[in-house]
A and B are shown apart, each in its own frame.
Chain A
């Protein structure tokens, strides 16, 4: 596949790894923000191939991981209603709420449907005028233009039986919250390539200069990740702290202006709680007042939601890199991918799930596939 395969060449991968080894003289701690990047890093074993002192911390970059428990519980409450067709991206179906998940609800008879695009959800609304169709609008900035368009189209075409449950999160506030934390260990970032394809990278320039951290906008293929890591380490070795763009084939400094315009027409910035991290001010999107009629939270009275996170979960410390899964008393025992307690074990891209999958810290010989 063009523009994908070229960035998977094993010979070039070795070449970049060699260069990373050549220029690294001190230990460094980097964070890749995006779940898709974590995916590639763990899948290809890139973090294991880096020089000994270079540590990759897997950031809170999967919206599935960080969707607040409260929003998940609201989704479940709405999906359980007989008059509702609840539509969602596939990832969200297995996220555990306080007592159940969407997939289990589906097994009990709720009309829960997976959609590939928010426009598909809109089509379901048009095709089912006598039902209420709710779309679980989660994601980072990458997904916001699509979710915004669904709402804008619903307004334009007067599709009244459509509403969205919004749970958008933004990357820059999460980065600054991490950098402000007294236990932060991250010295350089690989910024999320597709978030920046939409938003550009101007928001990251003040972060780089204020906190003196290199930020490299990075893609998702193995060579992209390796080159991004190389560029970040080069900056650190040279004492620089700039925003650089590794993913030049898809990202421009100004991003995609039309997408940004659509986002700001439909959404406004608001406070958001990140599961496993806590509330971060101005770190999410919510619907603007003009679109309030499409807000599922207002359309459906979901009652009072009492959320309950497990007390043993140290997700916050994991996400800042202050602790590793091996430091957690619940890791591998109470908390496993089958029965996750917190965000980093919930998603396949979370740090704890990634560690567990590589049988790190577990006696591999004792781990059978049953």
Chain B
């Protein structure tokens, strides 16, 4: 091996790739850059962050920013939602958008104080659909105990937006003493997931053109702020919370491992994956660890309180099915491994680009 050559900077778990790795097309953005996987990270690191440089505080990327406002720590987050179809088993884009922002605030420990809602609407969208989606957003905000206080509406010509794009932003107060951050995980901590994974991504796939199949799977979109409050009540010293949306469980855990400079060792038999999700993933050759979730969180908690936290989670409807899935280790920093059935360890790596079904 040529020691002078460029050093490899990534590991790839072949099983988390559905197929060969892309050669990123020279100068353009490709769909894979939005998948929440390695390409997304690369886009952020190589293009967006450097360009923002002087205007940005730097530091690890968390689900929301924490801004100090005269002694009060305010969590501030924004997200855009471009899901297609707009309506899917278990919800619609309106609900998804509000829950997504409520959850990003919750991942910093904040209860949502106020949400903004902006639409970019493609000409031709039926008004009844717009009304239905807006009502869903309103219902989701009420369910999370918050309000939509401001917004915007734009209309673009046919073809310029995939029916409807939604952007939400939100603010919330981070309680004193709560210091959740991606770089806070420590060896010995326990990794917990709040419930079964893979539901949202498979629900979306079940309606999407070309990959239709009848599945009794609904998106798991839901607000998690009540769950987080219950967890913090038991353990205010929680280390990290993250919601594994695009890129799935593996992206969330890898990002934490990398930011914290620690490794993680998971036990595959403890990771809750519903049977139909497993079946759908088997059929398409997808890895459930890469499939998006919308109403789940992963938590890194001090070992001493892990069992108490899981119990507190299970006592709340949003945390039904919460389970310990592994631990943080000092070995292989930045890498997440999982034990196989023959006792070997394999690397759980991040999605690279888009998840593609395979025949091989």
A interface with B by C-beta (< 8 Å) = 1, 4, 8-10, 13-14, 17, 35-36, 39, 42-46, 48-49, 62-64, 89-96, 100-101, 103-104, 106-108, 113-116, 120, 139, 143, 222, 226, 326, 329, 331-334, 336-340, 346-349, 353-354, 356-359, 361-362, 364-370
What residues on B are CB-neighbors of A39 within 8 Å? Answer: 14-15, 360
Interface centre among B9, B22, B25, B38 (most CB of A within 10 A): B22
B interface with A by C-beta (< 8 Å) = 1-2, 5-15, 17-25, 28-32, 38, 41-42, 45, 210-211, 254, 257-258, 275, 278-279, 282, 284-285, 332-335, 340-347, 349-350, 352-354, 356-360
* 6 more CB-based (< 8 A) A-B contacts, given A120-B210, A337-B10, A348-B15: A90-B285, A92-B19, A100-B23, A106-B31, A334-B2, A359-B11
What residues on B are CB-neighbors of A357 within 8 Å? Answer: 11-14, 347, 349
The reply to whether A107 and B342 form a contact with Cβ atoms under 8 Å apart is no
The reply to whether B356 and A107 form a contact with Cβ atoms under 8 Å apart is no
How many angstroms between the C-alpha atoms of A4 and B282 in the bound complex? Answer: 10
The reply to whether B360 and A35 form a contact with Cβ atoms under 8 Å apart is yes
What residues on A are CB-neighbors of B346 within 8 Å? Answer: 42-45, 358
Known A222-B342, A369-B11; contact A64-B1, beta-carbon cutoff 8 A:
no
Known A42-B14, A89-B358; contact A362-B8, beta-carbon cutoff 8 A:
yes
The reply to whether A48 and B14 form a contact with Cβ atoms under 8 Å apart is no
What residues on A are CB-neighbors of B9 within 8 Å? Answer: 367-368, 370
The reply to whether A46 and B30 form a contact with Cβ atoms under 8 Å apart is no
The reply to whether A94 and B19 form a contact with Cβ atoms under 8 Å apart is yes
Of all chain A residues, the one with the shortest Cβ separation from B341 is A10
The reply to whether B20 and A347 form a contact with Cβ atoms under 8 Å apart is yes
What residues on A are CB-neighbors of B29 within 8 Å? Answer: 107
The reply to whether A338 and B19 form a contact with Cβ atoms under 8 Å apart is no
B21, B285, B332: which contacts A338 (Cβ < 8 A)? Answer: B21
Of all chain B residues, the one with the shortest Cβ separation from A11 is B341
The reply to whether B342 and A104 form a contact with Cβ atoms under 8 Å apart is no
What residues on A are CB-neighbors of B349 within 8 Å? Answer: 357, 369
Known A64-B20, A115-B210, A340-B21; contact A91-B343, beta-carbon cutoff 8 A:
no
The reply to whether B343 and A63 form a contact with Cβ atoms under 8 Å apart is no
What residues on B are CB-neighbors of A143 within 8 Å? Answer: 359
The reply to whether A107 and B341 form a contact with Cβ atoms under 8 Å apart is no
What residues on B are CB-neighbors of A14 within 8 Å? Answer: 342-343
What residues on A are CB-neighbors of B278 within 8 Å? Answer: 1
What residues on B are CB-neighbors of A94 within 8 Å? Answer: 19-23, 353, 356
> 6 pairs across A/B with beta carbons < 8 Å?
A39-B14, A103-B31, A348-B14, A354-B14, A365-B333, A370-B45
